[in-house]
Amino acid sequence: MRVSTQTGVGLIEVMVAVLLLSVAVLGFSALQLRAISATDESLIRTQTLSIIRGLAENMRANAQEIDTYKETINDTTTSYVTCTGGCTAEEIAINEAKTAYDRLSSHGVTMSMVTCPGTANFSQVMCIIAAWGDTKAQLDRLPDPEVEEDEGDIDAQACANEDGIYKNGSTCIIVETY
């Protein structure tokens, strides 16, 4: 009959088990942080899209004041207009654009409005660009190949290039309005 001399778990086995457990916990923690980040991104995107769609609907209802909406959105110093005895279409446009701008700003989102790429010769469809994080609410202007000195207006943090193609890693949305 053989008697085993091993009576317990060795220190090496315990250390290996703790090492494996700690690697698993670190992996799970990293995965959890990534999931939280994706959830936050989704929430910002959903809130932003909701606000911009509402603004786009208001713009369709007040289409004659598209330029007023654009000026108000792109000029951060514009303030609300107090209407007495009823608002004009221009005052409504200013107040609606300012409200959307302020709501987005409260979520850390910047906004701008430009003519959508490829529509200038057709019917000048307007695009609202909303960006958050490190992304800027703007389109790059690519260099003109026919002009030697033209270096364009390339900004790595811009939402998209001048053709409206999103840049890799950008955190923004572009919504067409009419």
> pLDDT (tens digit, 9 = 90+) per residue, 66-113?
999 999 999 988 888 888 878 899 999 999 999 999 999 998 999 999
Question: Is residue 23 in a domain?
Answer: yes
Output the DSSP codes for the chain.
-------S--HHHHHHHHHHHHHHHHHHHHHHHHHHHHHHHHHHHHHHHHHHHHHHHHHHHTGGGHHHHHHHHH-TT------SSS--HHHHHHHHHHHHHHHHHHTT-EEEEEEPTT-TTTT--EEEEEE-TT-EEEE-BPPPTT-TT--TB--TTEEE-TT-PBPTT--EEEEEE-
Q: Is residue 142 part of a domain?
A: yes
Pick the more confident residue, 152 or 61. 61
Domain, as residue range, for 143: 12-177
Q: Model pTM greater than 0.95?
A: no
Asked if the structure places residue 70 within a domain, the reply is yes
Residue 134 in domain: yes
Q: Would you say residue 45 lies in a domain?
A: yes
pLDDT at 76: 83
In a domain, 46, yes or no: yes
